[in-house]
Amino acid sequence: MTGPLPPGLLALTGLTSLSLRDNKLSGVLSFDLSGMASLQRLHLGHNHFTGPLPESLGNIASLRHVYLNNNAFTGDVPCSALATPPNISTVWLTENPGLLHRGRASKTVARLIHHRAFARAHAANHPTSAEQAAAAAADPVKAHPLRKRGRANVQVLTIDPLAAYTDDAENWRV
């Protein structure tokens, strides 16, 4: 495929995965993606998109994986927007040389995701109603989502909601 992203894709509101990687799509992603409420995976890597990253990515509550690598995006990384979807776990922005402060952005996004996951865990452990207390007692794993540990590579901005930055700039302790 070549040219701009077809605007008709926005009408596919029930779409859960959109992968148009390795094409020759180009232009600015200036439209609001929040109408794609079911979208969990967005892969637009290896194209020729330009301009700023769309902040509307943060309006897709179901979004889990975003791959916008190997394009020509420019400007600041919308850290807060990328960390907003509650289940976001992967953000790939590599090979976008026009993006500013990429290392700092990856750290900021990881910390925001971690902070939000911690806030959800705190809310689960300190329920405000009897119904929430019963739900937390029934599923202790959900009540303690910060127990998982692993590694993710900063170079690809793979970010786990439980990420914490280590002194080793190449890795995130998750």
pLDDT digits (tens, 9 = 90+) for 60-76: 999 988 999 999 999 99
CB-neighbour burial class of residue 94 (10 A; exposed 0-12, middle 13-18, buried 19+): buried
| Rounded Cα distance, 26 and 28, in Å | 7
Which phi and psi (to 5°) does residue 8 adopt? -65, -20
Residue 41 DSSP SS3: strand
Q: Is 25 in contact with 48 (CB distance < 8 Å)?
A: yes
Indicate the Cα dihedral angle 122, 128, 134, 139, nearest 10°. -20
> How confident is the model at residue 138, as a pLDDT?
59
Q: Based on the structure, what is the number of domains in the chain?
A: 1
CATH code at 84?
3.80.10.10
pLDDT digits (tens, 9 = 90+) for 130-168: 665 666 555 544 544 444 433 332 333 444 455 554 433
- E-only strand ranges, the chain: 2-3, 17-19, 24-28, 41-43, 48-51, 65-67, 72-76, 90-92, 98-100, 151-153, 164-165, 171-173
pTM (global) more than 0.75: no
* Domain hosting residue 61, numbered range: 2-173
pLDDT digits (tens, 9 = 90+) for 97-107: 888 877 778 77
